[in-house]
Structure 1
Amino acid sequence: MLKLTARQEQILNLIREAIENTGFPPTRAEIAAELGFRSANAAEEHLQALARKGAIELSPGTSRGIRLRDQGTGSAARPARSRPAQMALPHPALMQLSLPLVGRVAAGSPILAQEHIESTYNVDPALFAAKPDYLLKVRGMSMRDAGILDGDLLAVKKIDAARNGQIIVARLGNDVTVKRYQKTGAVIELLPENPDFKPIRVNPDQEDFALEGLAVGLLRNWN
């Protein structure tokens, strides 16, 4: 890997921290805002340079299609772990994940109930920060400023606990919603990423609330 500039190391650290804290790499706009760039195009230029130097991989067609390579560099480097010898990997087509696509969810029934599954997608696991269990079709624009739009396919990993700042899928009453998780004391808030929407407050004794999963990636149909 070629030596990185100080700015490139800064962006690489920002990407790593975003993935560790939220499960998502940042969007170009988020990188630009964090580092004071005038436009997302400046962030894109730095990302392309990082990709050419082998620090990251960029996946076209996804709003957060940034993947860290195994090796770090400079201050962002991490200790290398010894690995056992491996046999040759199978053909890439055999390594794809088969994920159910969940559409509208009926009230009171499991999110992965057969009647909710619209189809199955075969996808490259390298697109995601962690291995997802299913895809959820996003409804509405409450997470617009996080780069999650109506009609997107959100990759979701099943969990039973979340950290503050993570983007999660939650069941609340008759609805399944995508929001940013925030817990203060015993009170949980589900925060939108669009000023046109209000936060949802979950009371400690609210029985109709449940975490359904953690967002670990996003697919978008550009047609």
Structure 2
Amino acid sequence: MLTAKQNQLLLFIQERLASSGVSPSFDEMKDALGLKSKSGVHRLINALEERGFIRRMANRARAIEILKTPDNAAPQRGGDNVVSAPFGQAKTPSAPSAAGDDSFEIPLHGKIAAGTPIEALENRDSFVSIPGAMMGRGDCYALEVSGDSMVEMGILDGDTVVIESVNTARDGEVVVALVDREEATLKTLRRNGQFVELVPANRDYQTQVLEADRVQVQGRLVGLLRQYH
């Protein structure tokens, strides 16, 4: 699911390619979307590329190819490991569940709707059983991973990650980060002065460097579940 700005930019690029055959410049994108700086455009372009909607041509200036639009075929590549679930404080049982003496049930949330406050999206109708050893020290919840931006850490598209609800994290920890209160992503956190780096584990993707006040830590990775079919 795209944010409103991501969708707006994708449509603008598509229209410009259809009319002139040349993708718009960053300045033109900035003006079309009413953004204050080109850094906002850069972030949107990265998000669209990681989600498989566009591809930038190597060694060619202003060369962008549209791979898909939100209402057509499935992705041609994985996405941004944007966590496909709302997340927030979720209380875990105080005792093991019926799933087993050493198992706990934690909420498995549904897909996140971009731009909607997280607290309004919590869905506790679904649960997943996890080993007690996988529990963090605080409240935990589960998220379904969408995309391939963390594959080099063994986090694959379709995996279920177990997240401990925290609002701070140490450098080098894999966190659920909320960017500009609308875009959730699973990345390794690094701090660099007044900036925060969200680092993918896939050499095809670029590190996002953002002002610290634009990033909110929503949790840290404490476990991973995978089903084999």
List gaps (5 residues or longer) in structure 1.
1-88
Q: State the match for 1:213 in structure 2.
A: 219
Counterpart AA for 1:198: Q
SS in 2 for 1:126: helix
Q: State the match for 1:222 in structure 2.
A: 228
Distance 1:90 1:100 in 2: 13
Counterpart AA for 1:212: Q
Q: 2:171 aligns with which of 164, 168, 178?
A: 164
Counterpart AA for 1:163: R
Distance 1:156 1:91 in 2: 21
Counterpart AA for 1:216: V
Runs of 4+ in structure 1 off by over 6 angstroms are: 89-92
List gaps (5 residues or longer) in structure 2.
1-95
Deviations 1:86-120 (CA, angstroms, capped at 9, x unpaired): xxx999825521111123212232268334x5621
The Cα RMSD (Å) is: 2.6
Q: State the match for 2:144 in structure 1.
A: 137
Pairs within 5 Å for 1:147-158? 147-158=154-165
Distance 1:103 1:90 in 2: 21
Counterpart AA for 2:109: V
SS in 2 for 1:170: strand
The number of residue pairs the alignment matches comes to 132
Distance 1:141 1:132 in 2: 27
Q: How much has 1:205 moved relative to structure 2?
A: 4.0
Tell me: higher relative CO, structure 1 or 2? Use CA pairs within 8 A at least 6 residues apart: 1
Scaled by the length of structure 2, the TM-score of the pair is: 0.51
Q: Say if 1:153 and 1:220, in contact at 8 Å, map to a contact too.
A: yes
With over 3 angstroms needed to count, the CA separation of the structure-2 counterparts of 1:118 and 1:189, relative to structure 1, is farther
Pairs within 5 Å for 1:172-183? 172-173=179-180, 174-183=182-191
- Identity %, equivalent residues: 29
Distance 1:167 1:150 in 2: 16
| Farther-moved stretch of structure 1 (192-201 vs 100-109) | 100-109
Distance 2:194 2:104 in 1: 37
SS in 1 for 2:224: strand
